[in-house]
Amino acid sequence: MLRLVCTKQKHRASPFPFSHGYFLFSTSIRKPIKVLPNLTDQQSFTVSYLQKSCGLSSESAISLAKKLQIEATHNPDSVLSLFKTHGLTQSHIKNLITKRPGLLLADLDTKLGPNMKLFKSLGFSGASLAKMLNKHPLVLESDAQTVFELFRSHGFSEKDIKTLTMRLPKLFIYDAKKTIKPKIEFLKSLGLSELYIAKLLSNEPYVLARSLENHIIPSVQALVRFLGSDVSASKAIKGCHRMLEYNFEKVLDPNVSIFRSHGVPESLIVKMFLINPRTLLLKGSRVSEIIGDVKELGFDPNKMLFALAVCTMARMSKACWEQKLETYRSLGLSKDEIYSAFRKQPMCMINSVKKIRKLMPFFMNKLNLKPSMISKNPDILLFSLEKRIIPRCSVLQLLLSQGFIKEDVKFPHVLKMTNKNFRRRILSKYEAVVPDIVKAYKGKIEFQGFSSSFNV
C-alpha cells in the first residue's frame, strides 16, 4: 500500500530529514519517492486532460503542462477525434502528443484538417501515418499542400511524393519556393529530366536537405572538374543516386590524389569512378588499404583488371570479403584457387554468399566440374543460375542425349555466348531436328545433370 506523507507539520517533526515538499513511499520498501509539485488550477486541468484523453503518465502530463495550457476541451477533443478517424490508436496518439503537445490546439480548418486529408490521399493511415508523423510531427502544422503542389508541378507522381514523405517528412516544413524549387531547377540545369529527378529525389530525399549554395553546387562543380564535362557529371549522378549527398571537395579530391600516388593513370581513375562511384567516396584510409591489398595480389595499376579489382573490394567491408573467401573455401576452392579466379575475373567476388552457395554445388554436383575448373573459368560465376545456366544446360543435355553433340564441347564457351549467338548457333541450328529444344530452353524439360564433365 502507498500513502502520502506531508513533511511540513506544525506540531510534529517529520521523521525524515527533508526541509519541504511532498514524498511518496511504499510501506514495504520504505523508500521515499518524490511526488510532482503543486499545480495551478489551469495546470491541473491540463494535466487531467492529458492523462484521461491522451493516456499520458502523470509525470509526462505535468511536464507538458508547463508548455501547454488547455482552457477548453472543444478543440483538443476535435483534434483527437480527427486522429482516431485516420486510424491512429491511443498508443499512437500518446506518442504524438508527447512529442508535439501543441497539436491539441492546432487550427483544424486551415492546417491540421487539410494536412491530414492530404496525407490520407497519399495512402497514409493508421500505422503508416503514425510512423511518418513520429519522425516529424510538425508536418501537421506546415503548409503541406504548397509543397505537394510544387512536387506535382515538377513531374513527381503521388507514389514518388509518398516515398519522399515517408523517408523525409520534414520536407513539408520547408519553404517550397525558396528552398525546394531552386534545388530542383538546378538539377534540371544539369540536363536531368523531370522523370529522373523525381526518381532520384524519391530514393534520396536527403539531397533536398542539403544547402544548394554550400553543398550541392560546389559538389557538382568538383565533379565536373574531375570528369571534364557537365554531360559526364550528369551520367555519373544517374549512375549513383546517393552521389549528391557527398561533399566531393572534401572526399573526392583527396582520394584521387591517393590513386595518383600509387601510379594509377587519370583515365583509369575516371573509369573506376564511373564503374562504381563509391570507390572514390570511401574514407581515405580504406581506399589506401584496398589499393595495397590489390597490388599485393599482383594487379598492375595501369591495367583495367586493377580497376575492376579495386571497384569490387570497394563494394564491401573487409568482414564481408573474408566471409566470401571462407564460403568459397568451404565449398572446395583453395585460397590460391580463389585468388587465381579473382585475378582473372575480379567481379566473381561481387556474388552474394547466398549465390555462391547456390552456384558452387550446382557446378560440382550437376555439371561435374572440379573446383580447379571453376577457378580457371571464373566468368561462369557471374551468370544467373535460373536465367542462363540451367536453360543452356537443359539444351545441352537434350542434344547430348540424342547424339547431336559430344562431351568434348567447350562448356564454359557455351555459357559465355551472348543470347543472340546462343540462339543462332545452338537453338536455330538444331530446332528443326530437335523440336523439344525450345521446351528445354524454356524450362519445360527438367535438367537432370551431366553424368560426366565437359571440356573446359
Spell out the residues 6+ positions from residue 352 whose beta carbon is closer than 8 angstroms to its own.
none
Task: Determine the Cα–Cα distance for residues 31 and 27; give it in Å rounded to an integer.
Answer: 8
- Mean pLDDT calculated for residue range 1-15: 37
Residue 20 has pLDDT above 80, yes or no: no
**Mean pLDDT for the chain?**
88
d(CA 226, CA 103): 49
What 3-state DSSP class applies to 410?
Answer: strand
Q: Which residue has the higher pLDDT, 240 or 176?
A: 176
pLDDT at 289 over 80: yes
d(CA 265, CA 262): 9
Q: Mean pLDDT, to the nearest integer, of 125-148?
A: 95
Q: Please report the pLDDT score of residue 236 as a whole number.
A: 84
Helix, strand, coil % (nearest 5) of the chain?
65, 5, 30
Residue 19 has pLDDT above 90, yes or no: no
* Amino acid, res. 183: K
CA–CA distances in Å: residue 3 to residues 29, 238, 398: 12, 68, 88
Say if residue 202's pLDDT is above 50. Answer: yes
**How sure is the predictor about 245, in pLDDT bands with cuts at 50, 70 and 90?**
confident
Give yes or no for residue 25 having a pLDDT over 50: no
**For the chain, first and last CA: distance in Å?**
84
**Is residue 307 scored above 90 in pLDDT?**
yes
Q: What pLDDT was estimated at residue 406?
A: 78
Q: Note the pLDDT of residue 407.
A: 67
Residue 258: pLDDT above 70? yes
Select the more confidently predicted residue: 450 or 8. 450
| Residue 408: pLDDT over 70 | no
Query: Per mean pLDDT, which range of 87-91, 256-260, 364-368, 406-410 is the poorest?
Result: 406-410
Asked whether residue 85 carries a pLDDT value surpassing 90, the answer given is: yes
Cα separation values, 359 from 15, 47, 292, 332, Å: 78, 64, 30, 12
For the segment 138-156, the average pLDDT, to the nearest whole number, is 96
At residue 7, does pLDDT exceed 60?
no
Q: β-strand 32-34 against 22-26: which pairing, if any? A: antiparallel
Q: What is the mean pLDDT of residues 227-245?
A: 83
Q: Which amino acid is at 130?
A: A
**Cβ contacts of residue 281 below 8 Å, gap of 6+?**
243, 246, 251, 252, 255
Average pLDDT estimate for 246-264: 91
Cβ-defined contacts of 244-249 (< 8 Å, 24+): 244/200, 244/204, 244/207, 244/210, 244/216, 244/219, 244/220, 245/204, 245/206, 245/207, 245/210, 246/219, 246/281, 247/215, 247/218, 247/219, 248/218, 248/219, 248/220, 248/222, 248/223, 249/218, 249/219, 249/222
Please provide residue 310's backbone torsions phi and psi, each rounded to the nearest 5 degrees.
-65, -45
- In degrees and rounded to multiples of 5, residue 22 shows phi and psi of -115, 150
Q: Is 107 buried (19+), middle (13-18) or exposed (0-12) by CB count in 10 A?
A: exposed
Phi, psi of 410 (to 5 degrees): -80, 95
CA 182 – CA 188 distance, rounded (Å): 10
Task: Give the three cell numbers for residue 64.
Answer: 507538458
Q: How do residues 155-199 score in pLDDT, each as one tens digit?
A: 999 999 999 999 999 999 999 999 999 999 999 998 899 999 999
Confidence of residue 41 (pLDDT cuts 50, 70, 90): confident
Q: For position 403, what pLDDT does the model report? A: 87
Whose cell is 551431366? That residue is: 450
Residue 224, C-beta contacts closer than 8 angstroms, at least 6 positions apart: 230, 232, 233
Query: Taking 50 as the threshold, does the pLDDT of residue 8 lie above it?
Result: no
List strands edge to edge, sheet with 32-34: 2-6, 22-26, 32-34
Q: What is the pLDDT of residue 37?
A: 59
Identify which of 382, 379, 417, 378 has the alpha carbon closest to the alpha carbon of residue 396: 417
Q: Look at residue 353 in the predicted model and tell me its pLDDT.
A: 96
pLDDT number for residue 67: 86
- The SS3 call for residue 371 is helix
